[in-house]
């Protein structure tokens, strides 16, 4: 009877039940093995688990968080010793084990999980398992009941450490019983074109009972017996089989084989993969274990899903050979079959000894730049910092970004880099850590409000990327290095250090407060302008203090408000020119506007601290009494709503361009949710707030209603309902509970707009609200009913259907069932890939 390849009882999993096999190999070297009995008290010595000959140790020293537990007594009789203990993680979102490895080596990594009702709640947990920054698998122990489950991959180490992380996804606590790491003896065996290999099944064909693993398998692979008694018969040998072909299979595995009961029948082995697009690698192990007579021949073809790997194969006598494909395979409709078929030359039926199947698991996110990681850990050790979030990769994924860090990852083919370090109010003592200078990409450093002593180190002047250093509120002394004072483009904040000697006049009287000014605030905002021909231009614009009124400056730059770009809830938006040539958009607060100084201040504060290529950049602002103005980078092509309605000259955006625009908009929104600390919710996502530059690059705008989550771990904030009718999340409207999924709902409406080119609310439709109307049209099953007729069918239908399905998932009435913006970005890129692969015919947009 077939069983799920992961659903194995732990007794069968971890024990070798053939006692007669134990004497075969007792002295294999396991010095590079890591075998952790997770939750074993640190004061208990390593122990030898006799049934395997493996030495298990406590996980103390591999993980810094979590609490220990033990399965309940009724499990003790059937549970091997290494699984009796467990470590669970009630605190923090992500908790990680760190394992030292050899870079470039292939490792077998195995994690075992058994709930065992350790907490007496009889509630099976569910959580995510990560390898470094990438999702490995979702572990749902309710699916396995009292049996538990294990997961195993073969992975090539790309750095000198591996991090296995457990991530809380609901209310239950992640847990782990055993973690095992095994280096493979040969790096040239389980090769892949991409990704790592997740064990799907590993079988040897025998009627015997019991799994085979270490010490019989020197790499501690677990071999599970499998035999189709209805269609197969067994062949065995007592002779020694040469297994030195690189895969180094156990003798006992290769000493048995299966052949068809009928000499003329095919040998078949079938399995199923879900989803059907899953890619896999298969390794088939053969050895002729019968002594053939002179008139006997064993020859057969070997195929997988009808694709021949060898048309006339004869196994070697008492010597192991392995057949495999160099490229990943797929199965039509998810049904896979291996077939061995004897040739006309053969007198004996086909034979197979063992088989391995691995599915491809992609780990697309690159780990943070290793030099930056080492530098951060050095700083952490210097100051003895203990933060629950400082586990796993510092920068990725974004939702687990370490507190106090910001990172950049503009090129997905390059590792993320650390650009911002905030250790303000962290009770730091001692001198400024020298490890800081190794953060070579750092742009902003905040060490304010600590108890740092000693001098200001000169190495700070040598950090080429630094733009802002905040050393205020410490006990630093001595002279500030001249090289630091004279460094161009650097803002050094040092007030609140009474013993710091000032070598220039700008240092004088820094401890006092500054007077309130009603002039234009000196906003030095680096606005990252769109990438043009591969070059990135940083625009710095400063409103300098002048004796003349700054509102007069606004009048001048807008040529007396001569050209209107648009109108919003804040007020009119005018075209302007600064520095003689730089175009800007100037948004003036209308005295009759429902939005006022609170929204003005909120937008300024947000744009001063967030910078992303898909968020409109702030150039400056004017705060002079009743005269409030925001000065933005100029977006030449206006907003998306104008283009969809035809108000921009009648140009029709083709489907590819629409997808690119919403992908970029989603990226900006995803940055607000995951890249900002604390996270931000836009609260007014709509097509009118998606602006386009001259290259049709999309940027999200209008942040006056944005709201942050001030407290770590909050799932929502309770706030008054604001937003635009039609785009408003109904759950937020009914409960006043705001979370990032409220933005996801609004974005779903935007998706429906670009798909249908219909008004959000139209009383002339059968269903006035666009969500209800699309739902009605979908029941008829015709995509043409909802697609914008102006596209004239010029689109990939798979791309459109995926976009529609994504939009409807964003519009789920329950926020918990909506995707995250990270998932939305991924799905939209898939839609775009489908459309790009089609090579559409429309030429109206390039």
- pLDDT tens digits, one per residue of 266-276: 999 999 999 98
- Top CATH class, 370-506: alpha beta
What are the tens digits of pLDDT across the range 677-691? Answer: 778 888 889 999 999
**54-68, 217-231, 486-500: which has the minimum mean pLDDT?**
486-500
Rounded distance between C-alpha atoms, residue 52 and residue 66, angstroms: 28
pLDDT at 249 over 70: yes
Q: How would residue 146 be classed by pLDDT, with cut points 50, 70 and 90?
A: confident
Q: How would residue 711 be classed by pLDDT, with cut points 50, 70 and 90?
A: very low
* pLDDT for the residue numbered 25: 40
* pLDDT for the residue numbered 503: 52
Residue keyed to tokens 């080596």: 105
Strands (E) located in 44-160: 47-49, 54-58, 67-70, 85-88, 94-100, 106-113, 126-131, 134-140, 149-156
Rounded distance between C-alpha atoms, residue 330 and residue 282, angstroms: 11
- Which residues, in sequence order, are CB contacts of 72 under 8 Å at separation 6+? 116, 117, 118, 120
Q: How would residue 781 be classed by pLDDT, with cut points 50, 70 and 90?
A: low
What are the tens digits of pLDDT across the range 753-772? Answer: 999 999 999 988 888 999 99
What are the tens digits of pLDDT across the range 729-758? Answer: 988 878 777 888 999 999 999 999 999 999
Question: Considering the domain 10-183 in this protein, what is its CATH number?
Answer: 2.60.120.430
Q: What is the mean pLDDT of residues 420-424?
A: 95
Q: What are phi and psi of 668, to 5 degrees?
A: -65, -40
pLDDT at 13 over 70: no
% of the chain at pLDDT higher than 90: 57
Q: How would residue 502 be classed by pLDDT, with cut points 50, 70 and 90?
A: low
* Residue count of the chain: 846
> Which among 418, 424, 432 is positioned nearest to 383, based on CA atoms?
432
* pLDDT for the residue numbered 11: 42
Rounded distance between C-alpha atoms, residue 218 and residue 163, angstroms: 24
Rounded distance between C-alpha atoms, residue 131 and residue 655, angstroms: 37
**6-20, 94-108, 448-462, 784-798: which has the minimum mean pLDDT?**
6-20
> Which among 289, 273, 443 is positioned nearest to 353, based on CA atoms?
289
Pairing state between β 690-692 and 572-578: unpaired
Instruction: Judge whether 619 and 631 are in contact, CB under 8 Å.
Output: yes
- 149: number of Cβ within 10 Å: 22
Which residues of the chain does CATH 1.10.510.10 include?
648-838
Pairing state between β 451-452 and 582-588: unpaired
Q: How would residue 86 be classed by pLDDT, with cut points 50, 70 and 90?
A: very high
Q: How would residue 709 be classed by pLDDT, with cut points 50, 70 and 90?
A: low
Rounded distance between C-alpha atoms, residue 278 and residue 129, angstroms: 19
Residue keyed to tokens 């004088």: 508
The domain defined by 525-633 folds into Phosphorylase Kinase; domain 1 (3.30.200)
Question: Considering the domain 648-838 in this protein, what is its CATH number?
Answer: 1.10.510.10
Q: Higher confidence at residue 833 or residue 182?
A: 182
Q: How would residue 144 be classed by pLDDT, with cut points 50, 70 and 90?
A: confident
* pLDDT for the residue numbered 736: 77
The yes-or-no answer on residue 623 being catalytic is no
pTM above 0.75, yes or no: no
> Which among 245, 213, 257, 99 is positioned nearest to 163, based on CA atoms?
99
Q: How would residue 212 be classed by pLDDT, with cut points 50, 70 and 90?
A: very high
What's the angle, vertex CA 178, arms to CA 190 and CA 104, rounded to 5? 30
pLDDT at 518 over 50: no
Q: What is the mean pLDDT of residues 470-499?
A: 92
* pLDDT for the residue numbered 527: 35
* pLDDT for the residue numbered 520: 36
Q: What are phi and psi of 652, to 5 degrees?
A: -95, 125
Rounded distance between C-alpha atoms, residue 134 and residue 397, angstroms: 7
Question: Considering the domain 199-361 in this protein, what is its CATH number?
Answer: 2.60.120
pLDDT at 510 over 70: no
Catalytic-role residue among 59, 446, 495, 684: 684
Q: For the chain, how long is the longest CA-to-CA vector?
A: 109
Burial of 596 per CB tally in 10 Å (0-12, 13-18, 19+): middle
pLDDT at 468 over 50: yes
Cis peptide before 37 (omega within 30 of 0): no
What are the tens digits of pLDDT across the range 619-653? Answer: 888 877 667 888 888 888 888 988 887 776 666 89
Q: Higher confidence at residue 12 or residue 367?
A: 367
Pairing state between β 161-168 and 126-131: antiparallel
What are the tens digits of pLDDT across the range 575-633? Answer: 888 887 788 888 887 655 545 666 777 777 777 777 788 998 888 888 776 678 888 88
Which residues of the chain does CATH 3.30.200.20 include?
525-633
Q: How would residue 717 be classed by pLDDT, with cut points 50, 70 and 90?
A: low
**165-169, 204-208, 834-838: which has the minimum mean pLDDT?**
834-838
> Which among 606, 594, 612, 770 is positioned nearest to 687, based on CA atoms?
770
**106-115, 399-408, 645-654: which has the minimum mean pLDDT?**
645-654
* pLDDT for the residue numbered 360: 96
Binding-site sequence positions for ATP: 587
Binding-site sequence positions: 587
What is the average pLDDT score of the chain?
A: 85
């Amino acid at each position: 009877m077939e069983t799920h390849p992961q659903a194995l009882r732990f007794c069968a999993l971890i024990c070798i039940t053939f006692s007669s096999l134990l004497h075969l190999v007792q002295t294999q070297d396991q010095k590079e093995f890591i075998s952790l009995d997770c939750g074993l008290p640190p004061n208990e010595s390593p122990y030898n688990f006799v049934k395997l000959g493996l030495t298990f140790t406590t996980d103390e020293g591999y993980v810094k968080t979590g609490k220990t537990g033990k399965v309940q007594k009724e499990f003790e009789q059937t549970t091997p010793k290494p699984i009796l203990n467990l470590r669970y993680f009630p605190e923090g979102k992500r908790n990680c084990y760190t394992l030292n490895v050899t870079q470039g080596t292939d490792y077998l990594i195995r994690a075992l999980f058994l709930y065992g009702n350790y907490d007496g709640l009889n509630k099976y947990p569910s959580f995510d398992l990560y390898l470094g920054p990438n999702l490995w698998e979702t572990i749902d122990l309710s699916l396995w009941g009292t049996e538990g489950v294990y997961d195993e991959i073969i992975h090539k180490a790309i750095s000198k450490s591996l991090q296995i992380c457990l991530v809380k996804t609901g209310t239950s606590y992640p847990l782990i019983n055993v973690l095992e790491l095994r280096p493979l003896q040969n790096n040239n065996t389980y090769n892949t074109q991409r990704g790592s290999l997740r064990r799907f099944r590993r079988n040897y064909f025998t009627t015997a009972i019991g799994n085979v693993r270490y010490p019989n398998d020197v790499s501690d692979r677990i071999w599970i017996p499998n035999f189709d008694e209805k269609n197969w018969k067994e062949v065995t040998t007592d002779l020694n089989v040469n297994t030195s072909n690189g895969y180094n299979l156990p003798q006992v595995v290769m000493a048995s084989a299966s052949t068809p009961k009928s000499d003329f029948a095919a040998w078949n082995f079938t399995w199923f993969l879900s989803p059907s697009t899953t890619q896999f690698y298969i390794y088939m192990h053969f050895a002729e274990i019968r002594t053939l007579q002179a008139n006997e021949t064993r020859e057969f073809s070997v195929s997988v899903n009808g694709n021949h790997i060898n048309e006339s194969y004869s196994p070697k006598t008492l010597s192991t050979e392995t057949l495999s494909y160099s490229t990943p395979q797929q199965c039509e409709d998810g049904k896979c079959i291996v077939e061995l078929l004897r040739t006309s030359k053969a007198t004996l039926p086909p034979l197979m000894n063992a088989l391995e199947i691995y599915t491809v698991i992609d780990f697309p996110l690159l780990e943070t730049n290793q030099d930056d990681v080492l530098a951060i850990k050095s700083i952490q050790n210097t100051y003895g910092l203990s933060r629950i979030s400082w586990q796993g990769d510092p920068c990725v994924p974004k939702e687990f970004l370490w507190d106090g860090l910001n990172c950049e990852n503009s090129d997905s083919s390059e590792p993320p880099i650390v650009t911002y370090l905030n250790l303000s109010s962290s009770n730091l003592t001692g001198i400024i850590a020298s490890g800081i200078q190794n953060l070579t990409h750092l742009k902003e450093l905040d060490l304010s409000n600590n108890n740092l002593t000693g001098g200001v180190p000169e190495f700070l002047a040598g950090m080429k990327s630094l733009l802002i250093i905040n050393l205020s509120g410490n006990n630093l002394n001595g002279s500030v290095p001249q090289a630091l004072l004279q460094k161009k483009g650097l803002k050094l904040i040092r007030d609140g250090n009474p013993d710091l000697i000032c070598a220039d006049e700008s240092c004088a009287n820094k401890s006092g407060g500054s007077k309130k000014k009603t002039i234009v605030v000196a906003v030095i905002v680096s606005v990252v302008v769109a990438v043009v021909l591969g070059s990135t231009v940083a625009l710095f614009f400063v409103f300098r203090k002048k004796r003349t009124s700054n509102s007069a400056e606004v009048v001048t730059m807008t040529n007396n408000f001569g050209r209107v770009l648009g109108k919003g809830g804040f007020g009119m938006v005018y075209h302007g020119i600064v520095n003689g040539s730089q175009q800007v958009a100037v948004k003036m607060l209308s005295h009759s506007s429902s939005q006022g100084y609170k929204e003005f201040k909120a937008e300024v504060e947000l744009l001063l601290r967030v910078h992303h290529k898909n968020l409109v950049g702030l150039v400056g602002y004017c705060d002079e009494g009743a005269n409030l103005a925001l000065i933005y980078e100029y977006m030449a092509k206006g907003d998306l709503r104008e283009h969809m309605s035809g108000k921009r000259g009648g140009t029709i955006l083709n489907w590819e361009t629409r997808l690119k625009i919403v992908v970029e908009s989603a990226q900006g929104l995803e940055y607000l949710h995951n890249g900002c600390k604390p996270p931000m919710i836009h609260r007014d996502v709509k097509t009118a707030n998606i602006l386009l530059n001259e290259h049709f690059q999309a940027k999200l705008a209008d942040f006056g209603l944005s709201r942050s989550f001030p407290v770590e771990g909050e799932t929502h904030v309770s706030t008054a309902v604001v937003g635009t009718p039609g785009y408003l999340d109904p759950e937020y409207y009914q409960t006043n509970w705001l979370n990032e999924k409220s933005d996801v709902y609004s974005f779903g409406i935007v998706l429906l707009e670009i798909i249908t080119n219909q008004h959000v609310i139209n009383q002339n439709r059968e269903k006035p609200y666009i969500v209800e109307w699309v739902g009605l049209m979908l029941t008829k099953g015709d995509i043409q009913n909802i697609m914008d007729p102006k596209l004239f069918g010029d689109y990939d239908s798979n791309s459109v259907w995926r976009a529609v399905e994504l939009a409807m998932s964003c519009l789920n009435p329950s926020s918990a069932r909506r995707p995250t913006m990270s998932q939305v970005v991924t799905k939209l890129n898939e839609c775009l890939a489908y459309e790009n692969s089609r090579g559409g015919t429309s030429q109206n947009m390039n």
